[in-house]
Structure 1
Amino acid sequence: MEKIFRKLFKQHFGKPPVSILEIAGDGSARQMYRLVGDEMETAVGVVGPDADENRAFLSFTRAFKSIGLPVPEIYGVDEKAGIYLEEDLGETTLFDAVTQARRDDPGADFPQAVLPVYRRIVELLPRFQVEGGKVVDYSLAYPRAAFDRQSILWDLNYFKYHFLKLAHIPFNEARLEKDFRRFATFLLAADTRHFLYRDFQSRNMMLRDGEPWFIDYQGGRRGALQYDVASLLYDPKVGMTEPVREELLELYLTNLEQLIPVDRERFRQHLRGYVLVRIMQAMGAYGYRGFYERKPRFLQSVPQAVRNIERILETGFVSIELPELQAVFERICKTTSLRKAAPQTLPGLTVHIGSFSFKGGYPEDGGGHGGGFVFDCRAIHNPGRYAEYVPLCGCDEPVIYFLEQQPEVEEFWTHVRGLVESHVGVWLTRGFASLSAHFGCTGGQHRSVYFAERLAAFLNEHYPSVNVVLTHREQHKWPARGEHAEIAAAGAAAGAASLPE
């Protein structure tokens, strides 16, 4: 993988990268990395295991780029390996910007600082839908060429099986299926001739120099205009107020009318339906990730989704009779546990993470519960066998670089992360107070330290409510961390830079 990244980077920039750093996952099966050159040139490398999804994203990107829409440039592709290199749009998503703006203005119903960005987004959305819809190749759309009856029923059943059943919301299956079929017919009566972005929400928009850039449209297909508007204005992670929604909807319709004729009343009638189907699709995803996969952070958006449903019920539901579906929504709104903060916010979980040497035996139980994980890192190539790394530890950049060149490191990390994250989810849900994860190697200085540091950083980023306690048991035995270590670090860095591609 890294060899391909280095090759693609060199083909585009004329020289190989000096570092390749993993980017935190986005919930999909893709792996993402930031590649950095010696003059701070950057690119994002993507490993996509689904070839059809990759083809859709690359094709749509080139199509949007051809008409001047703000999407990342594709720098290079190795289609056989499922790897591509794209323009680095930075690290700030629209969601990040909204979150920060709320901190800066905690008393506001909706932060005014991000309104100019949202206005720009609703000016650009019609161009993606109408102009973009004329240049994309729908034959590559994944998993279907259109958001048709089958796609709609998939989403509705996803909601039924992964949210209603897992959240224990009662319903009559036969009556609900009848409502689903009637609902799909109503939705398909809208204008479905244009590009449907599919996941048009705050985590799929990057901000660079104050301007929005767009990513993650690989699930796009032909469909109704209302779907993406509903995704944006009723994004549960944002919690937009009704006056802001109305302002942005009017601005969107004004910009849409510059491209095609619009019957505003009819558009709004169908919009209510697409708001519901979008909320249901999102809640299905929250249920699958949160209830089934035991990842509580995905349940954080459920209370806002419930408030969005409540608002739809209060203002007239939809213009067709859907008695069982309406009854299901009413039951959801009356379920107290779904209106509360997700289990991720339960206080009291401490994860004890540590490194140690097997020469000194297994670590003590810092949590006092007699459980947790001990991971043996000794199967990984040992940097401590090389003189230039002896004065260093697993938190020094040269050692990190050395380890991340070893193919077994990422495989080991993937298994560790999956096991620990699964247990953190269960522990949070059940209100447990302590979990441990320790890494052992020969000297307790390089490999074990690297993985302990990496796991601590991962949990701090993804589980802010968790208290992470990090210890390195053998730290007092490490060589002096002074001038000699600095000289060794410089020598190791030079050696790493000269490694063959």
Structure 2
Amino acid sequence: MMKTPAHKPVLIQLFEEHFGSQPDSISEIPMSGSDRVYFRLSNEKHKAIGTFNQNIAENNSFYYFTDLFRKHEINVPEIYKTGKDRRYYLQQDLGTVTLFDELNREGFSDQVKEYYRLSLEQLAKLQWIAGREADYNQCFGVKQFDEKAIKNDFLYFKYYFADLQKIVYDRTEISDEIDEISKDLGRIQPKMLMYRDFQSRNIMLFEGKVYFIDYQGCMQGPPQYDVASLLWQAKAQLPQKWKDELLNAYIHSLNTLPMAKIDEMYLRKGYSQFVMLRLIQVLGAYGFRGLFERRPHFISSIAPALQNLETFLNDNPQIPSYPKIRGLLEKLSSKEIRASFDFPKADEHTKLKVVINSFSYKKGIPKDHSEHGGGFVFDCRGILNPGRIDQYKKQSGKDIAVKEYLQNETRMGQFLENVYNMVDIVVEDYMARGFDSLSVNFGCTGGQHRSVYAAEQLRKHLMDKYRLQSEVHHTNEKNWVQ
């Protein structure tokens, strides 16, 4: 990733070239599971999402599939303009509401179910109509979800999740069964255009319609995999009745498309197999992003993913038919393993209020005004100081360039991982015991860069992992170098 503050000027130039006017505001959009960097740019008349991605091959795939999908009237964002080096692009702003957001806000309402149905209707067109015309040489990375790709998913799951748990299993026998099941699943037909990561966070709700985003990973593969990805998304926890009705709705959509009639029984049989594979792939991804990279959102997703796995195994006693793999999956979805990832979540009854301060040691440690006092004070001065570098002096720990410097050029990540481990112990205990206050303070020389970044990251961590809101105060902000 670029380690200079060059993103904004390039995106502002693209905005001006396309709209004929400069944006009045430009703000970073929080990153999720990718290394792409997003900004929201706007003025009184226009708005857009600016994107930077160092991987040009991935961008080219996104550009190609965007054109293909829009040709077939599939709802995806319009790409307004791309930079000359193809690392930057400006695309349509579809707002901030995803289908997952709407599900969390409205629950299992009729309107939410309708959005799911519309999503599957658009998916059917993407897979079976646009897929007939797709040039799979335009796919980024893997072009086909075949035996080799399926085996990679199993191994990803094995190395990054199963092997990290405290359970005993025969790794040689498991490896032999992985070879066999990968061959079986790789033979399943038909193979159309597969979205690969079709889940409710990649579906935007905009002006009453559903729009798809983040389809860079499209490839040729089994269409059932995408349906399984949406209906069995871990944190969505859709009711079984919904899953059944929406699968029926998807098949109905296929029967309305201008194509040969499908073998419904064969499609349903393949669907069950790919539900199992998707559950495994997700656990591998959560293991890598959560247990290795320590991203709180992915750690908090492991428990519901294991719950999904247990539900599937209980409802499908013959899948997978390989005894060693099934035995391993049953062990991993046990109550004991799930409990180790089942963190408490804040709700309307949660009393705990966390106050996070950044401060300058020149001004002293902030006082805790709560009834009981106490809390944490972390000294960030052992981390390299961006404030000593001319280009960062007038920025703060909230600016993208400073954040990139701290993430890529310092040991801030290691520092914060240890902070999270200590703070989490107290947060979980205080939530369980009904305590009402905790203070966490981060100090550095000027209270502008390192401490500010650390405070903001802790706020995000507590929200992602516990859904716990925090109060953040940058106590030396009035004295920041301008």
Question: Shared topology, TM-score over 0.5?
Answer: yes
CA-CA distance at 1:210 after TM superposition? 2.6
Please tell me the residue identity of whatever aligns with 1:10. E
Partner of 1:142: 140
The answer for unaligned runs of 5 or more in structure 2 is: 1-6, 430-437
| Corresponding residue of 2:8 | 2
Query: How many residue pairs get matched?
Result: 454
CA distance in 1, matches of 2:393, 2:180: 66
Cα distance change of structure 1 residues 242 and 363 upon mapping to structure 2, 3 Å threshold: closer
Residue of structure 2 in register with 1:123 after alignment: 121
Q: Which residue of structure 2 lines up, in the alignment, with residue 28 of structure 1?
A: 34
Q: Residue 343 of structure 1 aligns to a residue in which SS?
A: coil
In structure 2, relative to structure 1, the CA distance for the partners of 1:127 and 1:474 (3 Å cut) is: closer
CA distance in structure 2 between the aligned counterparts of 1:164 and 1:431, rounded to whole angstroms: 28
Q: Is the 8 A contact 2:379 2:443 kept in 1?
A: no
Deviation per residue, 1:255-314 (Å, 9 max, x gap): 112333211111111111100110000011111222222334313333332233223322
TM-score when normalising by structure 1: 0.80
How do 1:366-445 residues align onto structure 2 when only pairs under 5 Å count? 368=375, 371-374=378-381, 376=385, 378-379=387-388, 408=402, 410-412=404-406, 418=413, 422-423=417-418, 425-427=420-422, 430=425, 436-438=440-442, 440=444
- After TM superposition, the structure 1 stretch with the greater mean CA deviation from structure 2, 342-351 or 293-302, is 342-351
Task: Specify whether residues 112 and 301 from structure 1 end up closer, same or farther in structure 2 by C-alpha distance, changes over 3 A only.
Answer: farther
Amino acid at match of 1:330: E
Matches within 5 A, 1:54-453: 54-78=59-83, 80=85, 82-102=87-107, 110-257=108-255, 258=257, 259-318=259-318, 321-339=321-339, 342-343=342-343, 345=345, 353-357=356-360, 359-360=362-363, 368=375, 371-374=378-381, 376=385, 378-379=387-388, 408=402, 410-412=404-406, 418=413, 422-423=417-418, 425-427=420-422, 430=425, 436-438=440-442, 440=444
Task: Answer whether contact 1:166 1:292 (CA < 8 A) is retained.
Answer: no
Check whether the contact 2:58–2:140 (CA below 8 A) recurs between aligned residues: yes
Q: CA deviation at 1:150?
A: 1.2
Distance of 1:10 and 1:283 partners within structure 2? 43
**How far apart, in 1, do the equivalents of 2:445 and 2:377 lie?**
21
Secondary structure of the corresponding residue to residue 237 of structure 1: coil
Q: 1:474 to 1:115 in 2, by over 3 A?
A: closer
Q: Does the 8 A contact of 1:197 with 1:221 survive in 2?
A: yes
Checking the alignment, whether the CA contact within 8 Å between 1:294 and 1:426 is kept in structure 2 is: no
Kept after mapping to 1: 8 A contact 2:232/2:238: yes
Native 8 Å contact 1:121 1:212 kept in 2: yes
* Counterpart residue type for residue 115 of structure 2: V
Change (3 A) 1:428 1:364: closer
Assess, with a 3 A threshold, how the Cα gap between structure 1 residues 339 and 135 changes in structure 2: closer, same or farther: farther
- Tell me how far 1:31 sits from its aligned partner: 1.0
Letter in 2 for 1:373: C
Q: Could you tell me whether the CA contact under 8 Å between 1:439 and 1:451 is conserved in 2? A: no
Distance apart, 1:18 and its partner CA: 1.7
**Aligned CA distance change for structure 1 residues 338 and 451 (closer, same or farther; 3 Å):** closer
Which sits farther off after the overlay, 365-374 or 189-198? 365-374
The match for 2:434 is: none
SS at match of 1:248: helix
Letter in 2 for 1:99: N
Q: Distance in 2 between matches of 1:181 and 1:450?
A: 49
| SS of aligned partner of 1:43 | strand
Distance in 2 of aligned mates of 1:240 and 1:368: 39
Residue by residue, what CA displacement relative to the aligned partner does 1:132-178 show, whole Å, maximum 9, x if unpaired? 21233311212211001111011000111111111223321122122
Show the 5 A alignment for 1:484-495: none
The Cα of 1:454 is off from its aligned counterpart by: 4.9
Which amino acid is the alignment partner of residue 411 of structure 1? Y
Q: 1:428 to 1:115 in 2, by over 3 A?
A: farther
Q: Is the 8 A contact 1:237 1:301 kept in 2?
A: yes
What amino acid does structure 1 have at the position aligned with 2:56?
Answer: A
Structure 1 counterpart of 2:3: none
The Cα of 1:367 is off from its aligned counterpart by 5.1
**Which protein is bigger by CA-based radius of gyration?**
1
Give unpaired runs (5+ residues) of structure 1. 103-109, 386-398, 480-491, 493-501
- State which drifts further: 446-455 or 129-138: 446-455
Greater Cα offset, 303-312 or 158-167: 303-312
